[in-house]
Amino acid sequence: MAANCRFLSTRGWKVSEVQLSTVDVNIEDRRFSQSANTGTGVVEACPLGRDSVEGGAHDQEVAGRPLPHLLLVLTFSILGLGLIWWGNARLAPLLLDRAAVEEVAATLAAGSNYATYDLNIESRALRRAHIANLEETPEVAVLGASHWQEAHSYLVPNRYFYNAHVHRDYYEDVLAVTEMFVSSDRLPKQMIITIRDNFFTPVADRTDFLWMPTIPDYRKMARRLDLTAHPWVDTVPWPQIRESLSLAALEANVERWANAPVQPHVTTALKLDSLDILLADGSIKWSREHDALFTAEYARARALEFAEQRRDDPPRIDPYGVAVVDRLLTFLDEQGVEVFLAHPPFNPIFYDAVQGSPYAEGLEAIEALTRDFAQRHGLPIIGSFNPHDLGCGAELYIDAEHSNPECLQKLLNQYVELDQPSDSPSDRPLDLVATKPSEIK
């Protein structure tokens, strides 16, 4: 073996002059011979049967390739993720496409309705854009979670009623939605603010991420109230980002699009066979397919399943959340807004099943907290977690929490009775949503 042979292998290993005793090394099918004198010797390492000069040139060629290869892989990865995002945005526009959300919001603000595949939408972005496009300031708005989704404007007669619900709200949402009204100069004179069971759950204990898109609005209101907002690191919407880049989500969206008999569209209808409807007042109407799904057996099974999950999982209360809501109530009083606090009633099957459990004790703590708010700020409370107080039977629910307009009418009647109506009713037409259920085919 030539003494000047210093190439070790195509793996790019390097050698140097060292003191070694003779060592034979086997790597895969290559044999390398290393030898040294008792003094400073030269390590010789060459693949047998290969010219050292040729091997050295080959290694230099390979050594120059990693960066271009890495850039190529990175480019294709970014391109692939971009295509997945584009596909998801195109097939689920009300979830991921801001321009589409704003277009639908403008449609709703103009008095039309919009038919959508389902309610898997970005309700907070839609709410922000809808409020910004309102031509007039609502007289009364309800803030809360999807308990209110079927609260139509005809349930509150002679008032311009706006349903500002979002999916699965937390205390940040009441600040955020209020900010949406304030920023758009559309702050109502009356607001029904709902305090649900998990309204005050600390951020670290939450298992969902639907609340994150309202963080910019929450931060704006926190600044108005001179409050310290959550650290940025706790509110980066990584789950939404992952979902938008999910290949599984893309597959599901493609399947939904391919199987849908009708695509989403603007409509004047109040009921459709396969598409749910977003109504101009902020409420929703289920499709006939969904209505057929929501049987008494279905609702009972969902209620009992939910009760089993919740019995030993009481609501948690974040003291920070309590403080910011207290400050918001002070702000609304300063703005001349009349506030009504509300508890949404549960399905009696669920409510009865959790009695005597840690969860029921947690509900009592939330009720006590609400009474404290009411006493401190001089506010009325409507509704109750206990459906028996309102006379809402199990037949009025589609699951453990979501009731139909008949139960919500009982809740809103309490607001109407407490409210001092104006001398003359609103002259604003109630549009298409002001239709009695019997007239909806």
- Domains within the chain, CATH numbers bracketed: 1-64 (no CATH), 81-439 (3.40.50.1110)
Which 8-state DSSP code applies to residue 65?
S
136 burial (CB, 10 Å; 0-12 / 13-18 / 19+) is exposed
Mean pLDDT of all residues in 148-170: 97
Q: Is 133 helix (H, G, I), strand (E, B) or coil?
A: helix
* 173 pLDDT above the threshold of 80: yes
* 359 pLDDT above the threshold of 80: yes
* 4 pLDDT above the threshold of 50: no
Compute how many other C-beta atoms are within 10 angstroms of the C-beta atom of residue 409. Answer: 20
Please tell me the predicted confidence (pLDDT) of residue 421. Answer: 54
* 6 pLDDT above the threshold of 80: no
Round to whole Å and give the CA distance between 26 and 125: 63
Residue 96 near residue 90, CB atoms below 8 Å: no
| CA angle, residues 283, 137, 425, in degrees to nearest 5 | 85
State the sign of the Cα–Cα–Cα–Cα dihedral 350, 355, 360, 363.
positive
| 34-75 confidence digits (pLDDT tens) | 444 444 444 444 444 444 445 555 555 545 567 888 888 888
* 330 pLDDT above the threshold of 50: yes
Can you read off the two tokens belonging to residue 4?
């000047």
Can you read off the two tokens belonging to residue 26?
């086997």
* 349 pLDDT above the threshold of 70: yes
Residue/partner pairs of 21-28 with CB below 8 Å, 24 or more apart = none
Can you read off the two tokens belonging to residue 352?
């009865």
DSSP string, 209-238: -TTGGGHHHHHHHHHHTT-PPPPGGG---H
Mean pLDDT of all residues in 344-350: 98
- 329 vs 67 pLDDT, higher one: 329
* 101 pLDDT above the threshold of 70: yes
Strands of 90-134, DSSP E: 113-116
Please tell me the predicted confidence (pLDDT) of residue 194. Answer: 98
Which 8-state DSSP code applies to residue 168?
S
Helix or strand run (H / E) with residue 410: helix 405-418
Please tell me the predicted confidence (pLDDT) of residue 241. Answer: 86
* 415 pLDDT above the threshold of 90: yes
User: pTM of the predicted model, to two decimals?
Assistant: 0.80
Please tell me the predicted confidence (pLDDT) of residue 3. Answer: 44
pLDDT band per the 50, 70, 90 thresholds, residue 111: very high
Which 8-state DSSP code applies to residue 161?
E
Please tell me the predicted confidence (pLDDT) of residue 420. Answer: 64
pLDDT band per the 50, 70, 90 thresholds, residue 310: very high
Beta bridge partners of 277: 115, 285
State the sign of the Cα–Cα–Cα–Cα dihedral 276, 190, 348, 152.
negative
State the sign of the Cα–Cα–Cα–Cα dihedral 46, 49, 54, 58.
negative
Round to whole Å and give the CA distance between 405 and 411: 10
Lowest mean pLDDT among 3-7, 136-140, 266-270: 3-7
* 184 pLDDT above the threshold of 50: yes
CA 387 to chain centre: 28
Mean pLDDT of all residues in 94-105: 94
* 425 pLDDT above the threshold of 70: no
| CA angle, residues 72, 78, 80, in degrees to nearest 5 | 100
- 419 vs 410 pLDDT, higher one: 410
Phi, psi dihedral angles at 329 (to 5 degrees): -60, -35
Helix or strand run (H / E) with residue 109: helix 98-109
Round to whole Å and give the CA distance between 243 and 240: 5
* 24 pLDDT above the threshold of 70: no
Can you read off the two tokens belonging to residue 197?
């069971």
Can you read off the two tokens belonging to residue 255?
């399947």
Which 8-state DSSP code applies to residue 58?
H
Looking up tokens 């066979």 gives 273
Percentage of the chain lying above the pLDDT 90 cut: 73
Round to whole Å and give the CA distance between 252 and 245: 13
Q: Which of left, alpha, beta for 158 (phi over 0: left; psi -120 to 50: alpha)?
A: left
How many secondary structure helices (H) and strands (E) does the chain include? 16, 11
Please tell me the predicted confidence (pLDDT) of residue 67. Answer: 81
Can you read off the two tokens belonging to residue 271?
């009921």
Residue 405 near residue 308, CB atoms below 8 Å: no
Helix or strand run (H / E) with residue 83: helix 66-91
The average confidence (pLDDT) of the chain is 86
